[in-house]
Amino acid sequence: VNAQVGLNVIGLTQGAAWGDYNLDGALDLYSNEDTGDNQLFENVNRQNFNEVTVTSGVVTQGNSYGTAWGDYNNDGFPDIFIATCNSSPFNSIKHLLRNNGDGTFTDVNYAAGVADSLASWGIVWLDYDNDGDWDIYIANTNHPPRPG
């Protein structure tokens, strides 16, 4: 059924996350890959998908294990956070893809202060401190916790 609706995932999928990045009311799919590039699929008519990985600017290497949608800058557009882990556990740069609101994304991991290189497996968005903005919980592996 995947190929019939346009979900031609390449590689070894480690996870996926649904989110409506273009605010059209139809859930789009971000696919995490271990061995290939991650992929973003736009839900075009609630029945079919188009791969928009390159045109949206979400091209990231594989080694991705967790993805979650959230609005880190409270602009109303869902952003994507990607947890990564590769063969060198201290070289696993995470990605925070800011939704530009025009169908494209920009990786703002360094500017947002989330680009550490610790291996990570999962991500959760929540308003931990009830201040009205989103916080990020990152599940790292083989490393001590870093509160912040």
Asked whether the beta carbons of 57 and 105 are under 8 A apart, the reply is: yes
pLDDT tens per residue, range 44-97: 988 899 999 999 998 777 788 889 999 989 999 999 999 888 766 566 778 899
Domain boundaries, the chain: 3-140
User: Model pTM?
Assistant: 0.85
Enumerate the H helices of the chain as residue ranges: 53-56
Q: Is the pLDDT of residue 148 over 70?
A: no
Q: Can you name the CATH fold of 3-140?
A: Methylamine Dehydrogenase; Chain H (2.130.10)
In the chain, what are the helix, strand and coil shares in percent, each to the nearest 5?
5, 35, 60
Helix (H, G, I), strand (E, B) or coil at 5: helix
Distance CA 75, CA 72 (A): 8
Of residues 86 and 98, the one with the higher pLDDT is 98
